[in-house]
Structure formats: C-alpha cells, structure tokens
Chain A
Amino acid sequence: MNRILRIELRRSAAIGTAVILLLVGAAVLYGLPDRWAAGWMPLAMMQREYLILLWPAALAAGGWQARREHRSNVAELFASTARPRAQRMIPTLAAMGIAVAGAYLAMAAAAVPYIIDTANYLSPATFAVVAVGALSLVAAAWLGLAIGRLLPSPVTAPALAVAGLGLLLVIPTAVLHREWLALIFSPMYAMGQYTDYQTVAGRVSSAQVIWLIALAVAAAVLLASGSWRSRVAALLPAVLGAGLAVLIIPHDENVANPVDPVAQELVCASGTPRVCISRIHAGLLPQFVPAAREALARMAKLPGAPTAVHEDTTTYYPATSPAPRPDTLLISVRVDKGGSLAHPQQITTDLVTRAFRGSNDCDKGSEAVSRAAAFWLLGTEPRTEPGVTEDPDPNPEAVKLWQGLRQLPEQQALARVSAVYSATKACKETDGLLTRSAR
C-alpha cells in the first residue's frame, strides 16, 4: 500500500497541486504582511481568509486529477481488472489529501519565521483554525475528484474552480443574516480581523470540522461508487454532517467575531512604574516600556500625575472596554507590517498629548491649550502628527502658547500647565489658563 501511495504521489497531480497552492498562498500572505504580523491567531485567520483562492484551486485540482484515466485512455482497461474500484481510489484520495493539506501547513510554516520573534501568545484555538483550513482543502480536493469522475469533460475542472469561487462569494449574502449558517459552509467566512484579540469559538470550529469530514466522506463514497444507488447513498453522510453541525454551532448574534479574553488580558513589565500591554502584544513590551516610562517621568511633576500606562484594549464588536482609572494612561497598540511596534517614536508624545486631551465623553477644553501644555512637558515644539489633518489647524495657536510658556520662569509655567491638567481631568474649560497667572 505504501509503495502504491508513493508512486501515486509522484505520478498524480499531487505534487503540482501542492506547489501551486503553496506558491499562491505564500504570495498572498507576504503580499500584505501587516494583516497577520500581530500574532499567531491573526496569521491562522488570514490564512483561512485566503481560502477564497485556495479552496476553488483545490476543487479544480481534484477535477483535473479525476480525468487522468480518461485522458490516458485506460478507463476500459482498468474496469476489466478484478480489483474493486474503491480499493483503486484510496491511493488517489490519499495522495491528493496529503498534497493539499501539506501545502496548507507549509504555507503556515512559510509565515512562521516572519513573526516568530514578536509573536508569543499561541492559544490552542489557533491549531483548530489551521486544522479546519487544511481539512477544508482535503474536502475540496476529494469533492473535485468525485465530480470530475462523474463529468469527465475538459471544462469540468475550470468550471469547478469558478463554481467554488462563486459559492464562497455568494454564501455570505445567500444565508440572509444567519451568520452561523455561513460559518458552517464557508471555511473563509468571518476571518477578517477587526481587532488583534479576535478568535474563533471552539464550538464553531467543531461544527466546521464535522461538516467538512462529512463532506469529505460523501465525496469519497461518490468517487468509489459504481452504481447510482451507492451514489445516492453518498448524500447520507453529507446530510447527517450538515444536520449535526447546525445542532452544534451556537446560534447567537456575536458568533462570528468573538474576542479572546486571554489574548486581551494585560501583561505587565517587571519594575515600576507599571506598564502593561495585552497578552497578544506582549512581545512588544521591550520596545514599548521605555517610551511609556519616559512619558510617565515627563508628567511626574504634575499634581495627581498618572503612575501607570495600560494598553487600551477597547473592542467595538463586541463592545468591550477597560474601566477608566484616574492614575492610568491608556493607549492603543498597533503592530506594523514587520510584526514590531508601529510608530515607536510617537508613543511618548501620544501618551502625554492624550493625557491632556481628557476623556472621550468630555467636550470641553481647547485642543491648542492642551497641545501647548503637553509639548511644554515634552520639551519640544508642538507639531501635528504626520498624516493627520485638522480643520481649523490648532497647531499655530499651540505654538504661540508654547512660546509664551517657554518665556516664563520654570515654576510659573509648571503651575499653569498643572492648572490645565487639573481642569482637563475635571472636564472644565481650559481656555486662557496658559496666558493668565494661576489662581
């Protein structure tokens, strides 16, 4: 059996399929690395999203391989042998399955070196997400084999690819807002990332595994069967699997985009002052901590100065946000396409300016005043963040106020800046606090 499998691996479309899938997969992964550079789960989910290309390709590969006997004109010869058809099909099924699953895993492996230094939170759900992706390709290749054998035409394989692509594109609208239904039947549904903390629920992955195994079994039965009666019997595992998957999958509304609370949990750096970052970003701590501590040191002179920096782990869908604390500065952490901290030189400035901007539900306070105060603490001239345009631009006004502060004696300027900080925290007007002496 092993010898036959080895021959089949060499002589079938298996190797070509694996190489094409791997090349396409690696090319699209590295085409936009910032979509998955944040960690292992983002990588696994992005890989699943790219099934939009790989899944139809695996279908077509199966359809192409199924025509081999027809192409080589040996169908009649093989039919005359005493070996049962099912037995002859097993090596082909195994070879194609190994090829597509291997290509999917190799595609993941190709992305590993890129983020291995920065990603260090590996949740068990990640393996389930990858396994479902590999299994979906096996089911696609086997389904392609079965259909290709039933319809041995040169158009079958390209038509299968187009049909697969159309199916994946149509499923999200065809299910009419029943997201759980789309999740079962489309292996790439809801794999886009709103936040880095996103995950796939265990019960969703289990339902997908059940459906895909059922589909693969149905395809194998269809391929191996010689009579119409057993071909109809192939419907049975497919129907059973679909029914079981529908029973298992949760039917609530947020089923498609759950947040992993463990990935979102804060991990703190050793030493004081306290600097914490979500677990999925914990690999960025060495870059993040010095910048955050510098911001705290700059603000230490203020009354009621903050003593800690936390990552802002707010998510919008589902809505979760950390409880506001007066002694803690919050900042959202972004990962750049290389997997390291995005805009590291901006962190200190961002933290201090955000502290002077007040909370989101307070609409008092002047942008120019808070910016001048923040930049006085930072010791640099106020400037607009690159890529940000505001109308009207508060920066010239901020620069004027900042120059006024610089001409004052240190103590007096600090008193005015402190007044702005206190007013911001209490959500009061800050206009004029930098130009008249503190009361």
Chain B
Amino acid sequence: MRWLVLYLRSRRIPLAVAAAGGVAALMWSLWSLFSNSRDAGAPMVILTVLLLVAALTASLAGPDDALERTAALSWPPRRAAHLLAALAVVVLLLLVTLVTGARFGPAWLVIRDAAGLLGVTALGTATVGAARAWFVPLGWTMASLILPLMGMGSSEVLLWQSQAVDSKPAAITAAVLALGGLLAYAIAGPARRAPAEAAL
C-alpha cells in the first residue's frame, strides 16, 4: 500500500486524473450546452478520448527514470498495470456519461479508440519520451477526422480512429497498436531523457 501511494505520487497521478476529469467535464458541458441531441457526435467523442489519453500520457514517466531502473523491482508488470489502469480511467469516465443527458458513446468506439491511442502514446513514451508522446496520437487522430472530409483517403486501417463501430480493420489496427504499445512500454519503459528535462 505504501509503495502504491508513493508510486502514484511520483507519477503525479492525482494531477493527471484531475486533468482528465476536467477535460471530460468540459467536453460534456460543451455538448450539453450547444447541442440538442443526446448522443455526442462521433468527432466529439473521438477528440475527447484523444484529450483524455493526452492528459494521462504525462503520468507514464516519473521524475527520475534512471534512478527507478536501479530498484530491485520487477517493472514490466507494474508498467503494464499502469497502462491498463489508464485505459480503465478513460473508459470509465466516458461510460459514466452514458447515463447522463449527453452520452459519449457508443462504448465500443470509446474502448477501441482509447486502447489504440494509449498504445500509440505508450509506443511514443518508449521511444521519444512522455513529454513528446502526444504528438503522434494527436496528429494521426486529426488527420483521421479531417482527411475523409477533404475527400482524401478512405483506408479503414490507416484512418482507424474515425471508422464506424462495426469496422473490423479499424478494430484490428487498434488492437495491434494497443498490444504493441503495451509490450514496448512494459518491456522498455519510458525513454531516457536529457538531465535538463528530467523533471517533467
């Protein structure tokens, strides 16, 4: 228990979860105020998932990863649990809205996009560090939402975030990214950073 509290504090989890909750509340109120429909539009849901993932990304690295690595602890299962907990936070926050006046669903879309985007951001954390890990999920999701509007690209694999709920290729892409991110982050951990940036 003591360890868990220290871990949560070192990863600034309370701050990250508060930011995620704030983002969810903001998007929820925006939809409640400005729309007559009860079900939030798919772009709104996808962007909310993206923002929640971005808010939790900051917690994927600690203040001193090099020091952490020296500890006689088995990190891979702990890192994997961290990612799965992040997925649970995103999904739970949006599932709660399903019983309110502005529903951010369907649940499968939220789960697919949250898992896939967390996978991408975990891959980013393992390669370029947590501070820069949101670049790719953000750019990819924006492209996935905008390019079909421009008449460019209809690939269900490449533009997986914005596909319909029943799209198999999109689900498979999200699953592959989620699994890849989980493995890469669990095994490799956050990328080593320059000492100047050690404190996020």
Asked whether, in the complex, the Cβ of B54 is within 8 Å of the Cβ of A155, the reply is yes
Residues of the A chain whose Cβ atoms lie less than 8 Å from the Cβ of B55: 154-155
Identify which of residues 321-368 in chain A touch chain B, using a CB-to-CB cut-off of 8 Å.
none
The smallest beta-carbon distance between A164 and chain B, in angstroms, is: 10
Report the Cα distance A60→B132, complex, angstroms.
Answer: 12
- Indicate if the CB atoms of B23 and A53 lie closer than 8 Å: no
B199 adjacent to A32 (CB under 8 Å): no
Contacting pair B151 A165 (CB below 8 A):
no
What is A's interface to B at a CB cutoff of 8 Å? 20, 24, 28, 31-32, 49-50, 52-53, 56-57, 60, 71-73, 153-155, 157-159, 161-162, 165-166, 169
7 contacting pairs across A/B (C-beta < 8 A): A52-B146, A57-B139, A71-B131, A155-B23, A159-B23, A161-B138, A165-B145
**Within the complex, what minimum Cβ distance (angstroms) separates B57 from chain A?**
7
Known A-B contacts A52-B146, A56-B142; the reply to A32 vs B51 at CB < 8 A is no
Interface residues of B in 137-182 (CB under 8 A from A): 138-139, 142-143, 145-147, 150-153
| Contact (Cβ within 8 A) B200 A71 | yes
Instruction: List B contacts of A24 (CB < 8 A).
Output: 139, 143
Given A56-B142, A161-B142, A169-B43, output 20 extra A-B contacts at Cβ < 8 Å: A20-B135, A24-B139, A28-B147, A28-B150, A31-B152, A50-B150, A52-B146, A53-B146, A71-B199, A71-B200, A72-B196, A153-B19, A154-B134, A155-B58, A158-B50, A158-B134, A159-B23, A159-B54, A162-B50, A162-B138
Cβ distance A166 to chain B, nearest Cβ, rounded Å: 7
Whether B47 is near chain A, meaning CB under 8 Å from some CB there, is: yes
CA distance A50 to B47 in the complex (A): 19
Q: Which residue of B lies closest to A60 (CB)?
A: B138
Q: Are A162 and B51 in contact (CB under 8 A)?
A: yes
Take A57-B139, A165-B142, A166-B47 as given contacts and tell me if A157 and B134 are in contact as well, using a CB distance cutoff of 8 Å: yes
Query: Which residues in chain B, 30-79, are within 8 Å of chain A measured between CB atoms?
Result: 43, 47, 50-51, 54-55, 57-58
Contacting pair B152 A28 (CB below 8 A): yes
Q: Which residue of A lies closest to B44 (CB)?
A: A166
Pairwise interchain contact A53-B142, C-beta atoms closer than 8 A: yes
CA–CA, A49 and B150, complex, Å: 9
- B152 to chain A: which residues have CB within 8 Å? 28, 31-32
**Whole-angstrom distance from the CB of A373 to the nearest CB of chain B?**
39
Does the CB pair B23–A71 fall under 8 Å? no
Question: Is B47's CB under 8 angstroms from A162's CB?
Answer: yes
List B contacts of A169 (CB < 8 A). Answer: 43
Contact A158 B150 (CB under 8 A): no
A378 to B58: give the CA distance in the assembly, Å. Answer: 71
The 5 lowest CB-CB distance pairs between A and B, nearest first, are A154-B58, A158-B54, A155-B55, A31-B152, A158-B134
Is A71 in contact with B197, judged by CB distance below 8 angstroms? Answer: yes
Q: How far is the CA of A60 from the CA of B57 in the complex (A)?
A: 16
**Do A32 and B150 touch across chains, with their CB atoms under 8 A apart?**
yes
Residues of A within 8 A of B151 (CB): 32
Q: When chains A and B are docked, how far (Å) is the Cα of A281 from the Cα of B6? A: 70
Given the complex, which residues of A lie within 8 Å of B150, measured CB to CB?
Answer: 28, 31-32, 49-50, 52
- Complex Cα spacing A66 to B151, Å: 35
**CB closest residue in chain B, given A61:** B135
Given A32-B151, A57-B139: A158 touches B51 (CB 8 Å cut-off): yes
In the bound complex, CA of A162 to CA of B51 (Å): 8
User: In the complex, which of the residues A73, A154, A159 has the most CB atoms of chain B within 10 Å of its own CB atom?
Assistant: A154
Task: Name the B residues within 8 Å of A159 (CB-CB).
Answer: 23, 51, 54
- Cα A154 to Cα B55 with chains together (Å): 7
B37 to chain A, nearest CB (A): 14
Q: Is the CB of B197 within 8 A of A72?
A: yes
A158 to chain B, nearest CB (A): 4
Q: Given A32-B152, A53-B143, A71-B197: A155 and B47 within 8 A (CB)? A: no
- A174, chain B: closest CB distance, angstroms: 9
* B51 touching A155, Cβ below 8 Å: yes
In the complex, A6→B76 CA distance in Å? 43
Chain B residues numbered 79-115 whose CB sits less than 8 Å from any CB in chain A = none
Provide the residues of chain B in CB contact with A71, threshold 8 Å: 131, 197, 199-200
